[in-house]
Structure 1
Amino acid sequence: MGSFTRWTSGTGIAVAAGGMLVATCPAPSMATTRLVRVPCSVTALNAAITAADTSPGLILRLAPRCVYDIQTPATAATGLPTITGDVTLLGGPGTTIRRAPAAAAFRVLDVAAGARLSLAGIAILNGSTSGLGGGIQNAGRLVLSRVTIAGNTAGSGGAIAGLAGSRTTVSRSALQQNATTGVGGGGMLNSGTAVLYATAVRYNTAPVNGGGVNTQPNGATQLIRTTVERNVSGGLGGGLSNLGNTTLSHTRVQFNRASAGGGIATGNANVLISRSIVRANIPDNCSPLNTIAGCVN
């Protein structure tokens, strides 16, 4: 399946922000890790993921300047094999995984409960599903670093859908130009635990609530040094819609649009804004009016 290189130690980067550690790149926990180079072939990528699902310690190095163009999905609903183990995909300049433009509708990636997927240096494009997560559906653990998720469409969670019990960490990445056809979360629908660090959430759309990020009743979302801008909701919360818990630290929410709560809309009192800016949203910054401390309309 490719050449193997032994690493005697894994290296990882973590950034302390807002009192917590945020992983910014996949960090192998094993003392010895095998690096597998995956040629520019969807068939080869499918085989490599299938092997990695049952082989702890495999790190898949995808080809730079390669578009893994998925014509036929690996499962009925997902382009690549379901992630059931601990899988790491490392890209390079120009590495892209996408649903081919003329292909039938399917999401790109699916992470099963109890599994972990780490992505770095990869673009995830053009997924499409009437269900959850046009780019990635996550029921387990998802760690993204320097990843662009763009042009995906779903019933809810255009780029990412974090299901109940999931953990999602997005660092130095972009969720942009994604859309939903149902409830909301053009950029992300979160029913689990999510941290977005130094990430851009922009130009996403939803017909109902949360053009950028939609946090569901059991969800908890932290945005740290993140920008949420120019997202559009046909309902509430152009930038952010909250029914769970949402925390902003050193974050900008600006130039978003909705019917109310152009920046942030919440159905409870669980929005905390710290050293952040919420401004220039249409028709207002936050809804209900004067219910979110630190948000001035």
Structure 2
Amino acid sequence: MTVRRFVEITCTATALASIWIPPAAADTGSAQAPTTVVVSTTDDGAAADPFGSDCRTRSGECTLRAAVQFADAHPGTTIMLPAGHYRLTIPPNPVNINGPLVDPTAGDLDVTSDTTILGAGQDQTIVDGNHLDRVFVTAASVSLSGMTVTGGNAAEREIPLYDTSGGGIANTGKLALDHVTVTGNAADYGGGIFNVPVADMVATDSIVTGNAGGEAGGVRCDNTCTFTRTTISDNHVINPGRWYRPGGFAGRGGGLDIRGVGLVVLIDSAVTGNSATDGGGGINIAPAYLDTLPYQLTDAVNPGMGHLILRGTTISGNTSVLGGQNCKKVFGEITSTGGNTSNDASCDLTAAGDRVNP
């Protein structure tokens, strides 16, 4: 068992979300050569010996879970994931489900060392959380390409401090997505993806669609995120009305919720058809969780503003019950470098080449 360390995001005394960050790996004193393993079955099963010289379960096959365990023990591993539907079937360990311990043999796939996972294509390689847990935790320099991530569930279990972020992917490291679709996932925070305050994420030629959350239906960015030729569409946020999270804290950012001080960039991308109950149907920008405090107090204690840069991006057709259809910002900043399109004026598009209400 590995003890989890948590990054807790709080407003006054209330902890609103927590994400596991693993302890640093011990220095072995010698560099390890990169290794490539090929997953040989779509079945789910733990490694017989994750520290061994190859990827095998007790049945002799190399499952995706066993490959991830192997990669965790062998930094720099590349996992080849052929076409197939890889459904996770081992529920989280009930002893740990509401506690600070992690069991890599069960529940989500915990990628804790520098790893590359190469699928056969978004419509060919499907990694399915089977609604048992989220799909991936990425806690190192991790690259995912050529796959669909679906069926993840990190929704509320009525334990306020339980880790309920990132239904598809919870990123606490440096995540790169290339030709990845994240769809059909759910979480309290970041239905598709949650990028914690110490993490960085880059998404290229990817799609985040059809995810649901209580905050951030598609992607939650609490630090640096860059999206290039990426579509964030048809994600939804519904304020769950939790007793420990007053109404203003939730229901925002149907497509993208920007809560940190890191720079978020959208280049030649699209944020369309998303919805929220409480604001920012497409994009919500707020300084951490201070947007719900009185103006005078917020102005005094604001640790920094979220900053969004847009270039050649379409933000259109998003909806919100309480306003801010495409964009809502509280002490946040939107900078347009031109060539953007929106069907309303909420995103402050005034640069050369921008089109509003085309």
Q: TM-score of the superposition, structure 1-length normalised?
A: 0.79
How many correspondences in the alignment? 254
1:165 and 2:198 aligned: yes
Q: Which amino acid aligns with 1:255?
A: G
Which residue in the other structure is 1:8 paired with? Answer: none
Tell me if structure 2 keeps the 8 A contact 1:132–1:161. yes
Post-superposition CA distance 1:143-181 (Å, at most 9, x none): 10000000000001011000011000010000000010x
Specify which of 222, 245, 248 is matched with residue 310 of structure 2. Answer: 248
Which residue matches 2:44? 42
What letter matches 1:107 in structure 2?
Answer: R
Cα contact 1:221–1:245 (8 A) shared by 2: yes
Q: Report SS of the residue matched to 1:201.
A: strand
Residues 191 and 220 in structure 1, CA contact (< 8 A), matched pair in contact too: no
Percentage of pairs with the same residue: 28
Q: Map 1:1-297 to 2 at 5 A.
A: 33-40=34-41, 41-43=43-45, 44-64=63-83, 66-73=84-91, 79-93=107-121, 94-100=124-130, 104=132, 106-112=133-139, 115-130=140-155, 131-180=164-213, 182=214, 184-207=215-238, 208-243=251-286, 244-258=306-320, 259-280=322-343, 284-286=344-346, 293-294=350-351, 296=356
- What letter is aligned with 2:40? P
Q: What TM-score do you get using the length of structure 2 for normalisation?
A: 0.66
Q: Any idea what SS the aligned residue of 1:48 has?
A: helix
Cα distance in 2 between the residues matched to 1:54 and 1:31: 10
- Deviation of 1:230 after TM superposition, in Å, equals 0.4
Residues 276/233 of structure 1: CA separation in 2 closer, same or farther (3 Å cut): farther
Cα drift, residue 71 of structure 1: 1.5
Matched letter for residue 218 of structure 1? V
Gaps of 5+ in 1: 1-29
Call closer, same or farther: CA 1:144–1:73 in 2, change over 3 Å.
Answer: farther
Q: Return the offset for 1:73.
A: 3.7
SS of 2:64's equivalent?
helix
Aligned position for 1:23? none
CA RMSD of aligned residues (A): 2.1
2:216·2:237 contact (CA, 8 Å) conserved in 1?
yes
> Max radius of gyration: which structure?
2
